Amino acid sequence: MKHQVPVEKGKTYELLIHTLGTSGEGVGRYEDFTVFVPNALPGETVRAVIDDVKKSYARGHVVEILKPSKDRVTPPCPLYAQCGGCQLMHLDYMAQLRAKRQQVIDAIKRIGKQTDVEVLPTLGAATPWNYRNKMQFPVGREKGRTAIGCFAQGSHQIIDTTDCHIQAQGNNAIVNVVRDVVEKLKIPVYNEDRHTGVLRHVMGRVGLDGDMVVLVTATEKLPHERELVKLLRARLPHVVSIQQNIQTYRNNVILGRETKLLWGRPTIKDRIGRLQFHISPRSFFQVNTAQAEVLYSKALEFANLTGEETVIDAYCGTGTITLFLAQKAREVYGVEIVKPAIQDAKRNARDNNVKNATFLVGDATAVLPRLAHQGIRADVVVVDPPRAGCTPVVLQTFANMHPDRIVYVSCNPASLARDLKILDELGYHAEKVQPVDMFPMTSHVESVALIRRKLPVYYELSPVS
């Protein structure tokens, strides 16, 4: 017998919201059928119109809040209802931290099937506003004028933004000046549908020693280049680097392979703790500098280093966590498949006078067995994988090295939970997880997990001849 879906598209229903979904939307039920409702909060009763119906769930939008949550607040951003950049600005910040912890708990129990992992209270930001040191906004035309800002939720319509509440003020200044200058010089902006025009994206990066502007173009030639640079320099005194990145392909990738320095320095600097980092247009660097220090300090605490350990950082990127670990370890190996990232990591090690870090290019599944064959045993493995998490082969590779501890840094509770389950089957049990709020006002949560080996490893002694 075919299951009858109890809701219909276009109709209005009264829903009690039970929890938040992974994208920050309210999750309610109607006759035991799941309905996702953006802008609704746990504990609220709302009237919602159904927009889309699937076999096992529906999506709707709020038309009336019948009983508001005590944690509901008025978003300070006038564009919040349209913009897709933030998802939780209508939720009190302390409640955001509780919701993010609950998101981690739910994933570990539901996906990871782990019931005895301690999930600590989320470490919140001292300042949850204007924290993003990196901005990359699309450029287009809206209502006959140049528009630069976030895409509207669920679309590619650009919401023109003059004062983003989560961007560093230096980035807000860059957006507003670039918009004015592009209008003044009549530089053609990119049309995504027709693949015409010049200026596709504006990237801003805010550093310790000055800011960077990157103009991403669909063409190699940038019209009025000299005048553009002159006007930007005159109106943005904090900018020390102006660059052009060329992205000619018809796709959603923001940066192309070629970058040209138009004026100033090729890199800017930023600091996490005692370490300084050179940042180029393509460098990976955490967008929330203050919370990155909180995150890395927690990873260092969980690694519990005494100065005698060998540590392997299996997805080291540009070496930020690796160099943090090197401060307390005997020796650290950073492994990364992206060659330019390893080049940045080696430069960062030199600049910070770190002598006990070795960086290797390659896939962890190939590099780690090679290190083991050379007699290098990892006391601690640290891993900070992409959003998709680790493959089972990578996790098996970690277990084969028999480290005492694995410190797992994650930006996705679902893939973390899945990997904790696999590691548990491989003899490594998660002891505790520390959520860290790297991205206030959004639904994203970062976590650090401490995972210990369950049983001691007995190494075979070679027979004496």
* pLDDT given at position 456: 77
- Rounded CA gap, 105 and 114, in Å? 9
How far apart, in whole angstroms, are the C-alpha atoms of residue 349 and residue 268? 16
Mean pLDDT score across all residues of the chain: 94
Q: Name all domains of the chain by residue range, CATH numbers in brackets.
A: 12-67 (2.40.50.140), 98-126+288-453 (3.40.50.150), 134-266 (2.40.50.1070)
d(CA 186, CA 170): 24
* 181-226 confidence digits (pLDDT tens): 999 999 999 999 999 999 999 999 999 999 999 999 999 999 999 9
Catalytic residue selected from 77, 83, 390, 411: 411
Q: What is the pLDDT of residues 316-341, one digit of tens each?
A: 999 999 999 999 999 999 999 989 88
pLDDT score of 463 more than 90: no
Is residue 411 among the annotated active site residues? yes
Over residues 122-127, mean pLDDT: 97
Q: Would you say 148 and 216 are in contact if contact means Cβ atoms under 8 Å apart?
A: no
CB 333 within 8 Å of CB 371? yes
Taking only the tens place, the pLDDT of each residue in 39-61 is 999 999 999 999 999 999 999 99
DSSP code string of 44-67: -EEEEEEEEE-SSEEEEEEEEEEE
Strand partners of residue 332: 311, 357
Q: Distance (Å, rounded) from C-alpha 334 to C-alpha 312?
A: 6
Average pLDDT over residues 276-290: 92
- Rounded to the nearest 10°, the torsion over CA 91, 97, 99, 103 is 140
Residue 214 has φ and ψ, to the nearest 5°, of -120, 120
pLDDT at 457 over 80: no
Residue 69, token pair as written in the block: 């949550």
Beta strand ranges found along 280-336 (DSSP E): 310-313, 331-336
Proportion of the chain above pLDDT 90, given as a percent: 91
Amino acid (one-letter) located at 154: G
Is pLDDT above 60 for 126? Answer: yes
pLDDT interval class at 155 (50, 70, 90)? confident
Average pLDDT on 68-72 reads 98
pLDDT at 465 over 50: no
Mean pLDDT of all residues in 251-263: 96
Contact in structure between 406 and 383 (CB atoms under 8 Å):
yes
Helix (H, G, I), strand (E, B) or coil at 360: strand
> In the structure, what pLDDT confidence band is assigned to residue 153 with cuts at 50, 70 and 90?
confident
Q: Which of the 8 DSSP states describes residue 152?
A: B
* pLDDT reading at 462 higher than 80: no
First to last CA, the chain: 74
pLDDT on residue 35 = 98
Tokens 């703790």 -> residue: 273
Q: What is the pLDDT of residues 80-110, one digit of tens each?
A: 999 989 999 999 999 999 999 999 999 999 9
Q: Identify whether the C-beta of residue 300 lies closer than 8 Å to the C-beta of residue 294.
A: no
